[in-house]
Each structure stands twice: as structure tokens, then as C-alpha cells.
Amino acid sequence: DAGVIQSPRHEVTEMGQEVTLRCKPISGHDYLFWYRQTMMRGLELLIYFNNNVPIDDSGMPEDRFSAKMPNASFSTLKIQPSEPRDSAVYFCASSFGMAGELFFGEGSRLTVL
């Protein structure tokens, strides 16, 4: 069975551009999480969904960030406009139930110049 699939793996963009990161969770999982990883702040939870409904978005840095989950097999994280301080690795993870056993994708490394 395929794991969590993220795209793109790498993105380099200029400040002010819109960035869209994509995630396909593991089939059958009902929770989806978006994390951001940086050297300074480690792994930070941005937002998570349960059955496609956003439950907690308190980790989203500001209004420039938005996330959607239109169906059980797809989610997007959008940054508009992007800034250099958004440079990080963004991970999507999914789980079945609340047991905490998250399965992570390989991440999307974003560089904003």
C-alpha cells in the first residue's frame, strides 16, 4: 500500500509568489495533519483535519497560509504571498483514529528567495 504522497518534493520560488503544496493521505485514514519543520523551531503543527473537516488551525502562522481538504484523498496547503521566512520543509501526515500513530510523507522542501 502506498504511503502518504506529497508534491512537489522541492520548490524554489520568489518572494510574493503563490505556493501550493499537495498531499494524498493513506487510504482509509481519517486524520490529516500539516507540519512545518525548521532548524530553529523543529516540527510545528500547522493544522489538522478529521474526516475532511478542519479541527484545529491554531498553528497556522497568519492569513497568508490556508489549507483545504476537499475530499478524503487530497489536501492542499497554500501560501500567498510567500516570504523568505516561509522557507522550511512541510510535512503531511495521516492517521487512523486518534491513537497518535502518524504516518508522514517525505516532505516538500520550500525555498523562498
The residue ranges that bind other proteins (CB under 8 A) are: 4, 31, 33, 35, 42-45, 48, 50, 55-56, 59, 91, 93, 98-107
- If the CB atoms of residues 18 and 27 are measured against other proteins, the closer one turns out to be 27
C-beta of 15 vs 96, nearer to other proteins? 96
Smallest gap from Cβ 93 to other proteins, in A, equals 7
State the Cα–Cα distance between residues 110 and 85, nearest whole angstrom. 10
CB of 28 or CB of 100, closer to other proteins: 100
Closer residue to other proteins in complex, CB, 16/61: 61
CB of 79 to other proteins, least distance (A): 18
Displacement of CA 107 from its chain's centroid (Å): 8
Distances (CA, A) of 14 to 28, 72, 107, 111: 37, 31, 20, 8
Angle at 67 (CA atoms; ends 62, 73), nearest 5 degrees = 165
**At its nearest, how many Å lie between other proteins and the CB of residue 28?**
17
Backbone angles phi, psi at 59, to 5 degrees: -90, -5
